[in-house]
Amino acid sequence: MEKQFIVFKLNDYKFMADIMDVVEIINYREPTYVPNAPSFISGIIKNRGVIVPIVDLKKRFHLEQTSNININKKIAVIQVDEIVVGLIVDDITEIIVIDDNNIKDVPEIVKEIDKKYIIGSLEYNDQLILVFNLREILSRDEKEMIKEIG
């Protein structure tokens, strides 16, 4: 079955996620620091009157932090169960439509990122794109902690 996916970058990795899991994409703005939040929570922003905790995916995935000066940086606002969170991404590169039968297993060589977050891979335009499982970005305990923040 054909689905739309949003493709985004973190460092040199390309990821994609089902576009139906993304509420909106907004320009990056510096989050307000929240004391005692998990280390991968950069802080909170207010978006459309709602407090949105911001997840730093590079910290979440234990990726190298690059310069904060990135004019393309965005926040992908998602809803996980009843929780709205924002995900910091380096860039949104495109929206693609593919048959989900083209999604293959995650290659064994992809070790830097915890595989519970990645549900597959796609070869697209001679590049490997990892398929991100947005529903698994937070554990049950983390969701409870984030509810208290928001």
> What six digits make up the tokens of 44?
């909170």
DSSP structure string for 35-63: TT--TTEEEEEEETTEEEEEEEHHHHTTP
User: Along the 150 residues of the chain, how does pLDDT read in single tens digits?
Assistant: 999 999 999 988 899 999 999 999 999 999 999 998 889 999 999 999 999 999 999 988 878 887 666 778 999 999 888 889 999 999 999 999 999 899 998 877 766 566 778 889 999 999 999 998 888 888 888 888 888 776
Q: Which option is the CATH number for 2-149: 3.40.50.720, 1.10.490.20, 2.30.30.90, 2.40.50.180?
A: 2.40.50.180
Nearest to 130 by CA among 148, 113, 143, 147: 113
- Cβ atoms 136, 117 nearer than 8 A: yes
Go through the chain and tell me how many residues it has: 150
Domain ranges of the chain: 2-149
The model's pLDDT over 85-100, given as tens digits with 9 standing for 90+, comes to: 999 999 999 999 999 8
Single pTM value for the model? 0.88
